[in-house]
């Protein structure tokens, strides 16, 4: 930390310099306000010790100038001739503290340590925020992803419930965070809750919290994710895996904004926006009775469908470049690149595991490869067990009969579109440009059903 002392008394400047340098700080000094402002114009200062009574510009005038030109700079005012009114004025203007002469060197050291710790925490917070932004960054230039971004911009301005749908690894959590980060709740917490990652018997405790002694093993009171997310956003990931009891309680929270901790009758009011995500067919689960119909309609106010990576292949090179740079920095190694042949192979690959699979592939190649340019031969073993678009097309073109090839194409195409829209016939028909009755007849003719 770099400290500037502005005081017209040479002995005070020398004393403060000595004790602060003994603490490990870098110390500069100035005998007047004008001289001190010159130092501030050319040096990055973290803490200013400023005397009130100075020749020329007095300390209050210097403080006004500092607050205007260096608003984040912490200032400790010092004086042996000031009134309480002056001290109050300085603090109201943004001074960190006001110390009287003769100075308590202990107070000076404690104040400097506190400010140093505050600066460290601020830097750590900024680094963590950068890490969060990097973690949740949505990478891609495809029209499909741009449509998702446009929808995010629209829904983030409201508190409407959003149901984010898509295959595993497509980035549903990224969409949820983007909605939160663009909303008026962005300064509140973003809290994640993954129903699939928690045993059913612990779901309600994790979500709603519990009182001490509520059940065996509840040795202390625990706040649930809902309370932690107060005035922010609660992201319910894998909502399709939530048990029916928890579904009923979440429904009450959505309807009334109230809940109770386990083991308590006290009703707690909560202000939280709920976003949910799933890769399951909730419509089918509703029909089977494993997901509440009323909860489904409460959550599905604004549906966002995230396309799989195979439907936005133009994003693959962009994602590869991003993760090549990311893992070079993460693993502290020299960056690697893919050869043009390897890049073409990857672009033709369907990536059934979506972005998660692509990311893992890049990390794996960084670890096991010793080459600066990754060849097609090095990439192939990591994807050859799964079909690529090229292989699928080759299989289709190998059918000798035009009628059979056309039928096979229709089957594969319609299956993929139905999966995309969770076997919602009317929604699928609308998006592929067919009448619902024509699509239903086509599915019957081709022998396509959910099973």
With a CB cutoff of 8 Å and minimum separation 6, the contacts of 353 are 168, 169, 360
Question: What would the DSSP string read from start to end of 180-234?
Answer: HHTSTTTTS-EEEEEGGGS-HHHHHHHHHEE-TTSSTT--S-EE-HHHHTTTSEE
Residues 123 and 160 in one domain: no
Whether the predicted pLDDT of 398 surpasses 70:
no
Domain tally, the chain: 4
- Whole-number Å distance between alpha carbons of 425 and 283: 11
Q: What tokens appear for 128 in the block? A: 């963590």
Whether the predicted pLDDT of 410 surpasses 60:
yes
Cα→Cα distances 377→327, 343, 345, 381, Å:
21, 11, 10, 7
Q: What tokens appear for 391 in the block? A: 């292989």
Residues 360 and 411 in one domain: no
CATH of the domain at 363: 1.10.8.60
Q: What is the mean pLDDT of the chain?
A: 87
Residues 125 and 105 in one domain: yes
Residues 182 and 298 in one domain: yes
Residue 137 lies in a domain: no
Strand, coil or helix: 242: coil
Cα→Cα distances 365→349, 353, 382, Å:
16, 17, 9
Q: Which helix (H) or strand (E) holds 27?
A: strand 26-30
pLDDT number for residue 168 = 92
- Whole-number Å distance between alpha carbons of 82 and 263: 58
Residue 138 lies in a domain: no
Residue 158's domain spans which residues?
146-307
Whether the predicted pLDDT of 404 surpasses 80:
no
pLDDT number for residue 247 = 93
- Phi and psi for 98 in degrees, rounded to 5? -135, 120
CATH of the domain at 414: 1.10.10.60
- Whole-number Å distance between alpha carbons of 174 and 277: 11
Rounded average pLDDT over 27-51: 93
Least confident interval from 88-92, 93-97, 352-356, 447-451: 447-451
Whether the predicted pLDDT of 386 surpasses 60:
no
Runs of H (alpha helix) within 369-421: 376-379, 389-397, 402-420
Rounded average pLDDT over 413-434: 84
- Phi and psi for 114 in degrees, rounded to 5? -60, -45
Rounded average pLDDT over 287-307: 94
pLDDT number for residue 387 = 45
Cβ pair 261, 268 in contact under 8 A: yes
Banded model confidence at residue 82, pLDDT cuts 50, 70, 90 = low
Q: What is the DSSP letter of 96?
A: S
Rounded average pLDDT over 381-389: 59
Peptide bond into 174 cis (omega under 30): no
Please write the tens of the pLDDT for every residue from 102-133: 888 898 999 999 999 988 888 877 776 666 77
Within 43-189, strands assigned E span: 47-51, 74-79, 97-100, 162-165
Residues 259 and 235 in one domain: yes
Phi-psi region of 350 (alpha: psi -120 to 50; beta: other; left: phi over 0): alpha
Residue 135 lies in a domain: no
pLDDT number for residue 384 = 55
- Phi and psi for 8 in degrees, rounded to 5? -80, -10
Whether the predicted pLDDT of 24 surpasses 60:
yes
Residues 192 and 54 in one domain: no
Whether the predicted pLDDT of 391 surpasses 50:
no
Rounded average pLDDT over 88-92: 80
Least confident interval from 90-99, 265-274, 311-320: 90-99
The alpha carbon torsion through 53, 57, 60, 65 (nearest 10 deg) reads: -150
Instruction: Please state, as a whole number, how many other Cβ atoms lie within 10 Å of the Cβ of residue 311.
Output: 14
Residue 451 lies in a domain: no
- Whole-number Å distance between alpha carbons of 276 and 165: 9
Residues 173 and 241 in one domain: yes
pLDDT above 70 covers what percent of the chain?
93
- Whole-number Å distance between alpha carbons of 202 and 175: 27
pTM recorded for the entire structure: 0.63
Residues 150 and 270 in one domain: yes
């Amino acid at each position: 930390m770099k400290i500037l002392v502005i005081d017209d008394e040479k002995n005070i400047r020398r004393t403060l310099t000595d004790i602060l340098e003994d603490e490990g700080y870098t110390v500069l000094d100035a005998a007047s306000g004008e001289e001190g402002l010159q130092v501030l114009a050319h040096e990055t200062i973290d803490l200013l010790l400023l005397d009130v009574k100075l020749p020329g510009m007095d300390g209050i005038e210097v403080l006004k100038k500092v607050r205007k030109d260096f608003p984040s700079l912490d200032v400790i005012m010092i004086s042996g001739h000031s009134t309480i009114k002056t001290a109050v004025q300085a603090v109201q203007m943004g001074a960190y503290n006001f110390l009287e002469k003769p100075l308590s060197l202990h107070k000076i050291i404690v104040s400097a340590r506190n400010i140093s710790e505050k600066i460290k925490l601020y830097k750590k917070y900024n680094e963590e925020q950068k890490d969060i932004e990097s973690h949740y960054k949505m990478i891609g230039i495809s029209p499909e992803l741009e449509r998702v971004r446009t929808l995010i911009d629209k829904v983030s301005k409201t508190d409407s419930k959003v149901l984010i749908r898509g295959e595993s690894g497509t980035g549903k959590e990224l969409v949820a965070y983007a909605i939160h980060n663009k909303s008026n709740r962005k300064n509140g917490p973003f809290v994640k809750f993954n129903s699939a990652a928690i045993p059913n018997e612990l779901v309600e405790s994790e979500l709603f919290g519990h009182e001490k002694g509520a059940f065996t093993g509840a040795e202390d009171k625990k706040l649930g994710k809902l309370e932690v997310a107060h005035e922010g956003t609660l992201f319910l990931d894998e909502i399709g895996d939530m048990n029916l009891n928890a579904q009923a309680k979440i429904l009450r929270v959505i309807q009334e904004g109230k809940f109770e901790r386990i083991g308590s009758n006290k009703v707690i009011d909560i202000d939280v926006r709920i976003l949910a995500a799933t890769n399951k067919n909730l419509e089918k689960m509703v029909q089977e009775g494993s997901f509440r119909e009323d909860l489904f309609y409460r959550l599905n106010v604004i549906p966002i469908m995230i396309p799989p990576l195979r439907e936005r292949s133009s994003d693959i090179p962009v994602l590869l470049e991003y993760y090549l740079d990311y893992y070079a920095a993460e693993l502290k190694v020299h960056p690697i690149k893919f050869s043009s042949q390897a890049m073409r192979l990857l672009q033709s690959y369907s990536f059934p595991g979506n972005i998660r699979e692509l990311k893992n592939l890049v990390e794996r190649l960084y670890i096991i490869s010793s080459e600066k340019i990754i060849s097609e031969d090095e990439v192939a073993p990591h994807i050859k067990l799964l079909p690529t678009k090229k292989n699928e097309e080759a299989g289709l073109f190998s059918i000798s009969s035009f009628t059979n090839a056309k039928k096979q194409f229709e089957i594969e195409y319609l299956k993929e579109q139905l999966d995309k829209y969770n076997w919602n016939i009317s929604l699928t028909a609308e998006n592929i440009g067919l009448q619902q009755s024509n699509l239903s007849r086509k599915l019957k003719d081709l022998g396509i059903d959910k099973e």
